Structure 1
Amino acid sequence: MKSYFGFSSHTNRTLSEEELQRNALLSDLEQTKKALEIAYAGFDNVTEPDLIDCYIYEVNSVLKRYKFLMEQAAHLCMLPEEKTTASVLNTEAPAATLIS
Protein backbone atom coordinates (compact mmCIF):
# COMPACT_ATOMS: atom_id res chain seq x y z
CA MET A 1 0.00 0.00 0.00
CA LYS A 2 1.38 3.31 -1.01
CA SER A 3 0.87 6.49 1.01
CA TYR A 4 1.26 9.95 -0.33
CA PHE A 5 2.13 12.84 1.90
CA GLY A 6 1.76 16.20 0.26
CA PHE A 7 3.42 19.34 1.37
CA SER A 8 0.90 21.86 2.50
CA SER A 9 1.07 25.36 1.22
CA HIS A 10 0.75 26.67 4.77
CA THR A 11 3.92 27.63 6.46
CA ASN A 12 4.37 26.87 10.12
CA ARG A 13 4.90 30.21 11.70
CA THR A 14 5.26 30.74 15.35
CA LEU A 15 3.09 33.25 17.12
CA SER A 16 4.74 36.34 18.44
CA GLU A 17 4.74 37.10 22.16
CA GLU A 18 2.11 39.80 21.61
CA GLU A 19 -0.18 37.38 19.75
CA LEU A 20 0.21 34.80 22.52
CA GLN A 21 -0.68 37.41 25.15
CA ARG A 22 -3.66 38.55 23.11
CA ASN A 23 -4.95 35.00 22.64
CA ALA A 24 -4.51 34.20 26.33
CA LEU A 25 -6.28 37.40 27.32
CA LEU A 26 -9.20 36.71 24.99
CA SER A 27 -9.47 33.20 26.39
CA ASP A 28 -9.42 34.52 29.96
CA LEU A 29 -12.10 37.09 29.11
CA GLU A 30 -14.33 34.41 27.62
CA GLN A 31 -13.90 32.16 30.67
CA THR A 32 -14.64 35.11 32.97
CA LYS A 33 -17.81 35.98 31.07
CA LYS A 34 -19.00 32.38 31.44
CA ALA A 35 -18.12 32.39 35.15
CA LEU A 36 -20.10 35.60 35.58
CA GLU A 37 -23.12 34.10 33.85
CA ILE A 38 -22.90 31.05 36.12
CA ALA A 39 -22.55 33.19 39.24
CA TYR A 40 -25.57 35.31 38.30
CA ALA A 41 -27.60 32.18 37.50
CA GLY A 42 -26.68 30.70 40.87
CA PHE A 43 -27.57 33.95 42.61
CA ASP A 44 -30.96 34.02 40.89
CA ASN A 45 -31.79 30.47 41.99
CA VAL A 46 -30.94 30.40 45.70
CA THR A 47 -33.06 31.36 48.67
CA GLU A 48 -30.79 30.40 51.57
CA PRO A 49 -29.23 33.58 53.07
CA ASP A 50 -25.76 32.03 53.35
CA LEU A 51 -25.83 30.99 49.69
CA ILE A 52 -27.04 34.44 48.67
CA ASP A 53 -24.02 35.93 50.45
CA CYS A 54 -21.78 33.37 48.78
CA TYR A 55 -23.02 34.28 45.31
CA ILE A 56 -22.74 38.01 46.02
CA TYR A 57 -19.07 37.52 46.90
CA GLU A 58 -18.57 35.30 43.84
CA VAL A 59 -20.15 37.85 41.50
CA ASN A 60 -18.06 40.65 42.99
CA SER A 61 -14.92 38.53 42.63
CA VAL A 62 -15.60 37.72 38.99
CA LEU A 63 -16.45 41.36 38.26
CA LYS A 64 -13.11 42.45 39.70
CA ARG A 65 -11.32 39.88 37.55
CA TYR A 66 -13.27 41.03 34.49
CA LYS A 67 -12.39 44.66 35.20
CA PHE A 68 -8.70 43.73 35.54
CA LEU A 69 -8.76 41.81 32.25
CA MET A 70 -10.49 44.69 30.48
CA GLU A 71 -7.80 47.07 31.74
CA GLN A 72 -5.15 44.68 30.43
CA ALA A 73 -6.94 44.58 27.06
CA ALA A 74 -7.01 48.38 26.98
CA HIS A 75 -3.30 48.41 27.83
CA LEU A 76 -2.61 46.09 24.87
CA CYS A 77 -4.75 48.39 22.69
CA MET A 78 -7.24 45.62 21.97
CA LEU A 79 -10.32 47.74 22.71
CA PRO A 80 -11.74 50.47 20.53
CA GLU A 81 -11.16 53.90 22.04
CA GLU A 82 -14.84 54.71 22.58
CA LYS A 83 -15.39 51.60 24.71
CA THR A 84 -14.27 51.91 28.27
CA THR A 85 -14.52 49.39 31.08
CA ALA A 86 -17.52 51.20 32.53
CA SER A 87 -19.46 51.15 29.27
CA VAL A 88 -18.70 47.51 28.53
CA LEU A 89 -19.84 46.10 31.85
CA ASN A 90 -21.63 47.45 34.88
CA THR A 91 -19.10 46.95 37.67
CA GLU A 92 -21.45 48.09 40.41
CA ALA A 93 -21.85 45.60 43.24
CA PRO A 94 -24.85 43.32 42.62
CA ALA A 95 -26.27 43.95 46.08
CA ALA A 96 -26.44 47.68 45.36
CA THR A 97 -28.25 46.93 42.11
CA LEU A 98 -30.77 44.73 43.87
CA ILE A 99 -31.40 47.21 46.68
CA SER A 100 -31.98 50.25 44.47
Structure 2
Amino acid sequence: MKMYFSRISQENHTLSEKEIERNALLSDLKKTIKALETAYAGFDNVTEPDLIDCYIYEVNSVLKRYRFLMKQAAALSLLPEEDPRPTPLNTEAPVTSLIG
Protein backbone atom coordinates (compact mmCIF):
# COMPACT_ATOMS: atom_id res chain seq x y z
CA MET A 1 0.00 0.00 0.00
CA LYS A 2 1.41 3.37 -0.99
CA MET A 3 1.18 6.27 1.41
CA TYR A 4 1.46 9.84 0.32
CA PHE A 5 2.39 12.63 2.65
CA SER A 6 2.11 16.25 1.80
CA ARG A 7 5.03 18.49 2.34
CA ILE A 8 2.97 20.53 4.79
CA SER A 9 2.64 17.62 7.18
CA GLN A 10 6.42 17.27 7.32
CA GLU A 11 6.97 20.88 8.33
CA ASN A 12 7.06 21.77 11.98
CA HIS A 13 3.79 23.52 12.89
CA THR A 14 4.63 24.81 16.32
CA LEU A 15 2.70 27.84 17.42
CA SER A 16 4.48 30.82 18.84
CA GLU A 17 3.89 31.80 22.44
CA LYS A 18 1.89 34.83 21.32
CA GLU A 19 -0.39 32.67 19.13
CA ILE A 20 -0.96 30.24 21.99
CA GLU A 21 -1.82 33.11 24.34
CA ARG A 22 -4.15 34.62 21.70
CA ASN A 23 -5.94 31.31 21.12
CA ALA A 24 -6.33 30.71 24.86
CA LEU A 25 -7.72 34.21 25.38
CA LEU A 26 -10.22 33.85 22.53
CA SER A 27 -11.28 30.46 23.88
CA ASP A 28 -11.76 31.92 27.37
CA LEU A 29 -13.83 34.76 25.91
CA LYS A 30 -16.11 32.32 24.09
CA LYS A 31 -16.58 30.25 27.26
CA THR A 32 -17.28 33.39 29.29
CA ILE A 33 -19.87 34.63 26.81
CA LYS A 34 -21.57 31.22 26.95
CA ALA A 35 -21.50 31.32 30.77
CA LEU A 36 -23.03 34.80 30.72
CA GLU A 37 -25.83 33.64 28.42
CA THR A 38 -26.46 30.69 30.73
CA ALA A 39 -26.53 32.91 33.83
CA TYR A 40 -28.99 35.33 32.23
CA ALA A 41 -31.17 32.42 31.09
CA GLY A 42 -31.14 30.99 34.60
CA PHE A 43 -32.05 34.36 36.06
CA ASP A 44 -34.97 34.69 33.63
CA ASN A 45 -36.39 31.32 34.66
CA VAL A 46 -36.37 31.44 38.47
CA THR A 47 -38.89 32.85 40.92
CA GLU A 48 -37.41 31.77 44.25
CA PRO A 49 -35.77 34.78 45.98
CA ASP A 50 -32.65 32.85 46.99
CA LEU A 51 -32.12 31.64 43.43
CA ILE A 52 -32.66 35.15 42.09
CA ASP A 53 -29.88 36.37 44.40
CA CYS A 54 -27.69 33.49 43.29
CA TYR A 55 -28.09 34.36 39.61
CA ILE A 56 -27.50 38.05 40.26
CA TYR A 57 -24.18 37.20 41.89
CA GLU A 58 -23.34 34.78 39.09
CA VAL A 59 -24.08 37.36 36.38
CA ASN A 60 -21.95 39.95 38.20
CA SER A 61 -19.12 37.45 38.58
CA VAL A 62 -19.13 36.45 34.92
CA LEU A 63 -19.32 40.10 33.85
CA LYS A 64 -16.22 40.90 35.90
CA ARG A 65 -14.38 38.02 34.22
CA TYR A 66 -15.57 39.21 30.81
CA ARG A 67 -14.33 42.76 31.48
CA PHE A 68 -10.96 41.38 32.61
CA LEU A 69 -10.61 39.27 29.47
CA MET A 70 -11.61 42.19 27.26
CA LYS A 71 -8.87 44.31 28.87
CA GLN A 72 -6.41 41.51 28.18
CA ALA A 73 -7.59 41.32 24.57
CA ALA A 74 -7.19 45.09 24.21
CA ALA A 75 -3.66 44.84 25.59
CA LEU A 76 -2.84 42.23 22.94
CA SER A 77 -4.52 44.34 20.25
CA LEU A 78 -7.08 41.63 19.48
CA LEU A 79 -10.04 43.99 19.51
CA PRO A 80 -11.20 45.95 16.48
CA GLU A 81 -10.93 49.73 16.59
CA GLU A 82 -13.59 51.45 18.69
CA ASP A 83 -16.52 53.05 16.92
CA PRO A 84 -16.62 56.74 17.92
CA ARG A 85 -20.43 56.66 18.18
CA PRO A 86 -21.85 55.91 21.66
CA THR A 87 -23.19 52.43 22.22
CA PRO A 88 -26.87 52.09 23.12
CA LEU A 89 -26.21 49.14 25.46
CA ASN A 90 -26.71 49.42 29.19
CA THR A 91 -23.29 49.35 30.83
CA GLU A 92 -24.53 49.40 34.43
CA ALA A 93 -23.98 46.44 36.69
CA PRO A 94 -26.93 44.01 36.49
CA VAL A 95 -27.82 44.51 40.15
CA THR A 96 -28.30 48.24 39.61
CA SER A 97 -30.37 47.75 36.48
CA LEU A 98 -32.48 44.98 38.04
CA ILE A 99 -33.15 46.62 41.39
CA GLY A 100 -32.97 50.33 40.62
TM range (shorter): 0.7 to 0.9
Letter in 2 for 1:53: D
How many residues get paired? 95
Moved more, 9-18 or 50-59: 9-18
**How many percent identity over aligned positions?**
72
CA offset digits 1:51-79 (Å, max 9, x no partner):
00000000000000000000000000101
- After superposition, the Cα gap between the structure-2 partners of 1:35 and 1:90, relative to the gap in structure 1 and judged at 3 Å, is farther
Q: What RMSD in Å do the two structures reach over aligned CA positions?
A: 1.9
Map of 1:74 onto structure 2: 74
Residue segments in structure 2 that go unaligned for 5+ positions in a row: none
1:54 aligns with 2:54: yes
CA distance in 2, matches of 1:50, 1:93: 19
Q: TM-score with structure 1 length normalisation?
A: 0.85
Q: CA deviation at 1:93?
A: 1.6
Q: Distance in 2 between matches of 1:22 and 1:80?
A: 14
Question: Any gaps of 5 or more consecutive residues in structure 1?
Answer: none
Question: Matched residue of 2:7: which SS?
Answer: coil
Question: SS state of the match for residue 19, structure 1?
Answer: helix
Which residue in the other structure is 2:6 paired with?
8
Q: Distance in 1 between the 2:90 and 2:24 partners?
A: 23
- The alpha-carbon distance between structure 1 residues 90 and 74, as it changes in their structure 2 partners (threshold 3 A), is farther
The TM-score, its normalising length taken from structure 2, stands at 0.85
Residue 27 to residue 90, structure 1, CA distance change in 2 (3 Å) = farther
